[in-house]
């Protein structure tokens, strides 16, 4: 028997209650957030200011950077304020809002990485048809489709939580309103919640990963047929940054949820959640800029002009 409670708010778990450590955590998270915003803004400026970068690949890259800023902004500012105010309470409506925005931008990352894999597949496997297949009109449609699917996924999760009239308790074992945590707290039919969650996971998790794997399977099959080693290296170099971002995002995201099912630990859940909600968006600009000489040269020109 559970103590069934109608709640007006939830209590988020922090990384530490030690007053001395709180100041260190505040400085660390504030620095990470500023680096994330600055890095992604610079990447967007680089793409928008250089006409040579006005291609589908960089269009999706700048969209990913903008989405990463929004993704991080759904969780980190609230966490920083909680450290300053020594309060981890979030209202019921505030929790639903944060969860909705989190799901929208997390799913957008998922969709954009899949679309970027498709872009690389067409560019390498069908270069003669690239301009027609990945036209500006089609890029806009793919972006709008990604936004639409993200909104649908968010509303599906919201509908499950809104059907819950009471919760077992109000403690969320994470630093934000994690959808999986809210489902576990709900006193509604857990079997139905689990079924809907797994169906959503298959649609928005398995199929995008399958699409990325298929794209890279076709890419590798085409690249190994290139006779010159220089040509093969050049082809692989155009995919290395995207592949690194995919491994980082999916690796940390899958680890956060599957790892908690294998051996549950609140600290482990928060650390893995921090990796894909904060660290991954922070590292993406470095992954794409350090391995791309066009972006490096544009950023150098922007920073030199600013100075």
23 has which bridge partners?
Answer: none
Which parts of the chain have pLDDT scores under 50? Answer: 1-5, 306-307
Q: Is the dihedral of CA 233, 234, 239, 240 positive or negative?
A: positive
Beta strands 171-172; 9-12: pairing state: parallel
Q: pTM score, two decimals?
A: 0.88
Long-range contact set of residues 298-301: C-beta below 8 Å, sequence gap at least 24: 298/46, 298/47, 298/49, 298/50, 298/53, 299/42, 299/43, 299/46
What confidence score (pLDDT) does residue 4 get? 43
Strand partners, 172: 12
235/124 Cα distance (integer angstroms): 7
- Please write the tens of the pLDDT for every residue from 229-260: 777 777 777 788 888 888 888 887 776 666 55
Looking at residue 113, what is its pLDDT?
A: 93
Asked if 224 contacts 84 with a C-beta cutoff of 8 angstroms, the reply is: no
Question: For residue 2, what pLDDT is reported?
Answer: 42
Task: Please give the Cα distance from 252 to 64 (Å, whole number).
Answer: 17
* CATH of span 18-306: 1.20.1070.10
């Amino acid at each position: 028997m559970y103590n069934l409670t109608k709640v007006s708010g939830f209590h988020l778990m922090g990384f530490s209650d030690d007053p001395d450590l709180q100041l260190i955590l505040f400085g660390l998270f504030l620095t990470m957030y500023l680096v994330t915003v600055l890095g992604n803004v610079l990447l967007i400026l680089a793409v928008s200011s250089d006409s040579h970068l006005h291609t589908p690949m960089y269009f999706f890259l700048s969209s990913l950077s903008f989405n990463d800023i929004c993704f991080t902004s759904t969780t980190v500012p609230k966490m920083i304020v909680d450290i300053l105010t020594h309060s981890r309470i979030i209202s019921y409506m505030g929790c639903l809002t944060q969860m909705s925005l989190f799901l929208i931008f997390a799913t957008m990352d998922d969709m954009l990485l899949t679309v970027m894999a498709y872009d690389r597949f067409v560019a390498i496997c069908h270069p003669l048809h690239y301009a027609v297949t990945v036209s500006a009109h089609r890029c806009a449609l793919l972006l709008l489709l990604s936004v639409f699917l993200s909104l649908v996924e968010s509303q599906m999760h919201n509908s499950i939580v809104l059907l819950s009239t009471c919760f077992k308790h109000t403690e969320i074992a994470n630093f934000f309103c994690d959808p999986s945590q809210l489902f576990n707290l709900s006193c509604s039919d857990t079997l139905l919640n689990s079924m809907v969650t797994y169906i959503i996971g298959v649609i928005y998790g398995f199929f995008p990963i399958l699409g990325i794997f298929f794209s890279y399977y076709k890419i590798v099959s085409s690249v190994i047929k290139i006779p010159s080693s220089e040509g093969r290296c050049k082809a692989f170099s155009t995919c290395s940054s995207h592949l690194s971002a995919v491994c980082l995002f999916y690796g940390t995201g899958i680890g956060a949820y599957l790892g908690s099912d294998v051996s549950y630990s609140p600290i482990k859940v928060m650390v893995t959640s921090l990796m894909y909600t904060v660290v991954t968006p922070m590292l993406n600009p470095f992954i794409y800029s350090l391995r791309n000489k066009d972006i490096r040269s544009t950023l150098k020109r922007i920073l030199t002009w600013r100075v």
